[in-house]
Structure 1
Amino acid sequence: MKTRGFEVVSKYQDKGINLPRRQTLASAGYDIEAAEDIVIPSIWRLNFVRIFRLIRNGHQLYERDYKLADKILKPILVPTGLKVYMPEDEVLVLANRSSNTFKKNLALPNGIGVIDADYYNNPNNEGELFVQVLNYGVRPLHIKKGDRIAQGIFMKYLKTDDDDPISRQRLSGFGSTNKEGKN
């Protein structure tokens, strides 16, 4: 019986997706690769500078400025073509690779990603893992299929004595642990 591991989602079957592997015996994380080529634009080239200048110079921001900022400063979701299965009392933590920030100016804006056991095979997206990234460098970043973009670490977690989840099952896909199953 399988306990924990990675599988390729049906959308990427026969597309040459590599299952994550640890690089050494003492590595905690499984290196996760991009499923396809993708360009991560620099936040500095997304009209962000205009908004930054308004804020820095003390100008009043209007609703259109806020909407533009919200549209611009969204992370890019890099597809992995993977899904993950694990016991109910485990979580997969998606963490940035140290070389991403040091060499590529690539950050995970959420710090870490938390993949719950019930995300596997959810009806919305089959449980496909995506890595949220922001490019804070000045050049667009070209990620190629197969580039290692994150690492996944399996961890046990604890529950409180009076644990009583709001819902017994996942209602949706990415970012969906709230009651209505919406982001």
Structure 2
Amino acid sequence: MKKRGFEIVSQYANAGLTLPARSTERAAGYDFAAATDIVIPASIEGVQKPVLIPTGIKAYMQADEYLQLVSRSSLPKKKHLVMPNAVGIIDADYYNNEQNEGEIMVQVLNISQEAVLIKKGDRIAQGIFLPYLLADQDEETSKAVRAGGFGSTGEG
């Protein structure tokens, strides 16, 4: 039985991607890389628009776990890119959803005045598997079944 790990989404099956891996013996995070070359536009007159960088990767895990997606520490310093939400949460039921097969996308903002080129294979984020706890009242609320992909659990 699989406990937790990564797979390449079918769209990128022949794209030569590698699965996320830890870079050092004691690293907590698995490094995620860009699946394609992508240009992140410059901030125009102080207006920044988030861009989704495809990874071509999906993650599976236990029902009481999630994958926390965080920026690599070098991303703001070297590329002037930040994650607008600071932390991305990949829920266990995101895996193999109908809309995008559970592909993990990294949302970034370019805080510089110049466009930034991210090349296929550039490490852009890291993911850490974590358990979570439920509140006593959790069973009292009804929950939907996930059908969609990125940002599909509702507005606001």
TM > 0.5 fold call: yes
Partner of 1:66: none
TM-score for the superposition, normalised by structure 2: 0.94
Gaps of 5+ in 1: 53-71
Gaps of 5+ in 2: none
| Residue-by-residue CA offset, 1:56-111 (whole Å, 9 max, x unaligned) | xxxxxxxxxxxxxxxx6431000000100000100001100010011111100011
Partner of 2:54: 79
Whether 2:113 is the aligned partner of 1:138: answer yes
The separation in 2 between residues aligned to 1:74 and 1:110, in whole angstroms, is: 13
The separation in 2 between residues aligned to 1:34 and 1:11, in whole angstroms, is: 14
- Counting matched residue pairs gives 155
- Quick check: which one's helix share is greater? 1
The separation in 2 between residues aligned to 1:166 and 1:99, in whole angstroms, is: 41
Partner of 1:112: 87
For 2:136, what is the secondary structure of its paired residue?
coil
- CA drift of 1:171 comes to 2.7
Partner of 1:5: 5
Partner of 1:172: 148
Q: Using the aligned pairs only, state the percent identity.
A: 55
Partner of 1:60: none
The separation in 2 between residues aligned to 1:16 and 1:171, in whole angstroms, is: 28
The separation in 2 between residues aligned to 1:2 and 1:154, in whole angstroms, is: 14
The equivalences for 1:50-129 within 5 A come to: 73-129=48-104
Q: Which ranges of 4 or more aligned residues in structure 1 deviate by more than 6 Å?
A: none
CA radius of gyration, larger in: 1
- Quick check: which one's strand share is greater? 2
For 1:128, what is the secondary structure of its paired residue?
coil
TM-score for the superposition, normalised by structure 1: 0.81
**Root mean square deviation of aligned Cα:** 1.5
